Each structure stands twice: as structure tokens, then as C-alpha cells.
Amino acid sequence: MERTVQFSEGHQIFRESFRKFLMKEIGDRYPQWEAAGIVPREIWKKFGDNGYLLPWAPEKYGGAGADWLYSVIIIEELARFGANGVFVPLHNDIVAPYIYTYGSEEQRKRWLPGCITGDTILALAMTEPEAGSDLASIRTTAKRDGDAWVLNGQKTFISNGHLSDLVIVAARTGGSDAPPHHAMSLFVVERGAPGFTRGELIKKIGLKAQDTAELFFDDCRVPADNLLGPEGQGFIFLMQKLQQERLVCVLASQAAAEKCLEITIDYVKERKLFGRPLSKFQNTQFLLAELASQVTAGRCFVDELINNHAAGKDVTTETCMAKYWICETAIKVADRCLQLYGGYGYCTEYPISRFFIDGRIQTIYAGTSEVMKLIVARSMGL
């Protein structure tokens, strides 16, 4: 079906160029990165050298000043390629916007150029062992000490946990009795900061090439001018950026579901059972028709969100709906498509297996499906 997002000729040229880049620079090497549990640092430099990091950033910081649809293309094509552990969308469209939106001009000039070239990799540290979706319960603290802030606490499940050079850390700066929305601040912690250490890579069932880790802050000293925005505004900042963070997840899940359907259709046309193509069995036809209907409905919903978000509209509730439904649907699509592969679908040499495993996390991070439904219910006055 024709998409309702108005991609220009320039966007289409960019998409084709990015696809070729992924084939050249990632190609069939991705399984090696999965085995190592981390993406080589040099791939980030190649992304930067080719203009694929922070394409939206203004030219004065080294960016292209491009519209958000270029980010949409990067998110979609990475998901379609199956390189889910290359967390460039996190860097580009989740973490960097905090620096651009809430940072001072001095902070932007100090940090954004490196983020654009790939010399500086970003991470966001919100989740703690006892505070996942409930950000108001974080225990990491930050106390002022002269010309520095001293951080103490622990973060877990941090993407880009080992590669990151700058980590935006959410910490409590108010007393224990202060309202959460006024007791939290954001700090930029740089690689090598005293008292900042990283745990071993967390072994996961999926996203194996993603360097996920625990971060520890033991009297970690951070310069006072590394406070991002005014003190006490951290919770509000996080809430303001969740719409785009969740939309990034939605875009990836939708693109992955479409790719699953595409490769499975090709497979069932070639795979023979009882002397005829698997595609000629009514069960196969009915199942794929059902999945195609759901994927097409999802595309209509997602493209509408892309258009509204790019226009600056508040689609917080609709994004939560999509984060729940699109991500859950993508899991179902991958599962049902894998079934059509039979035993081959359970083998890692077939891409469908990676889509099946990697897609599972999408209903958990950036807000679980249960939390998304809770937010939607509240918006309905329930």
C-alpha cells in the first residue's frame, strides 16, 4: 500500500544509500558481534562519517539540519536489516535530544559534535534494580559538593552500557519527602569520571550484539556544569521525551513485522511439502492473510503518528496505544511466521529466528505493554 508519509525524492535516495551502507558495513558480520556481545566501536565512526548520526542536528554543531523523516528511515532500515543490536536510534533520537533540548549552548557545543562524528557514544541511565517503569522510585542520589555533584547509586539494563562515552543519569536531588516530579535531576556523566564503573555485559536471550550493562556510581564526582537543565526538572524532562522514545520502538517493531511477512512469503513459495509449495495450502494462505491485514492496519496507524509527531502535535496517548499494540503484534507476526518455517525457523541461520528473539524486548523496555494500557486507561478517565 502507498504510505501516507510524504517521503521526498531526497528521502528515497537517502534510504537506498543507507541500505547499501548496511550491506557493506554490516553484511554477514553481525553474528560475530552477537557472539562478542558488543558492536565494534569503529562501526559507529562509519555511521558518523557517512552522516547517519544525528542527521537532524543543526549545521553549526556538524549536523545536516535534516527533518525527522531521515531518522525515521534509519530506524526502519536498521530494523528491516535485522541489526537490532546497533543502537544508533537510541543515540540519535532518544538520548541526544536531551542534550539539544535541555542543554546550554556551551553544553551543546561541547558534546554534540562528537555525537555526530561517532567519537562520542550516548546512553541513558534511568532503570534501576527496583525502579523500572516506575521512575518516581529511583534511589540514585546526587548531592552538591562545592563545584561538583556527587552521585551514588546503581543503574541496570543500560543499553550502550560499555560503549558509551556520555551517560545521561537520572538522580534524586531532593529530599526523600519531596514530590518525585521536583526531586529528580539529569546529569551527564563522562567516561572516566571518578567513582563511575561498569559491570559485566548482561547476557540476554535476544539483542545479543547490544552491550547492555549495569552502571555503578560510588561517590562519583561530576562537574557542576554537567547538570542538564535546571535542578529538579529531571522527571519532567523524562516525561516530555517519552513520546519520541516510545515512537522509536513503534517504528522499529512495525518495520520488523513487515520484514518478517516479506521473507516468509518468499519462503513459503519456495518450500515444498507433500509435493507442492507451502504457499498453496489453505492454512498458509489464511494465516498470512490474517497477518498481512494486521501489519497493514499497523502501518496506517504508525504513519499517522509519524506525521503528527513531525508536525509537533501531542500524541502521547496514541503513542502509548501504538507502543502496546504494534509491539505486541510484531511479536505475534514473528512467532506465526517462524511456525511456517518449521524446524528451520528455529535455526539461527534463518533471519526469522533473530526477528523472533529480538522482537520480544519491545513490549518491555520504554514502558511495558501493561504500563501503556494503564496510561491509555487513565486518558479515558478510568
Beta bridge partners of 154: 216
**What DSSP assignment string belongs to 99-154?**
HHHHS-HHHHHHHHHHHHHTSS-EEEE--BTTBSS-GGG---EEEEETTEEEEEEE
Which residues are within 8 A (CB) of 236 and not within 5 positions of it... i.e. 6 or more apart?
181
Here the cell at position 367 is 514502558
SS (H, E, C) 346-370: HCCCCHHHHHHHHHHHHHCCCCCHH
Is residue 214 among the annotated active site residues? no
Query: What pLDDT, on a 0 to 100 scale, did the predictor assign at position 176?
Result: 67
Q: Which domains does the chain have, with CATH numbers?
A: 9-120 (1.10.540.10), 124-232 (2.40.110.10), 236-379 (1.20.140.10)
pTM for the predicted model, two decimal places: 0.96
Written as tens digits, the pLDDT of the chain (382 aa) is 789 999 999 999 999 999 999 999 999 999 999 999 999 999 999 999 999 999 999 999 999 999 999 999 999 999 999 999 999 999 999 999 999 999 999 999 999 999 999 999 999 999 999 877 778 889 999 999 999 999 999 999 999 999 999 999 999 998 767 777 789 999 999 999 999 999 999 999 999 999 999 999 999 999 999 999 999 999 999 999 999 999 999 999 999 999 999 999 999 999 999 999 999 999 999 999 999 999 999 999 999 999 999 999 999 999 999 999 999 999 999 999 999 999 999 999 999 999 999 999 999 999 999 999 999 999 999 9
Q: Which is catalytic among the residues 245, 270, 290, 370?
A: 245
Query: What pLDDT, on a 0 to 100 scale, did the predictor assign at position 182?
Result: 85
Burial class (CB in 10 A: 0-12, 13-18, 19+), 323: buried
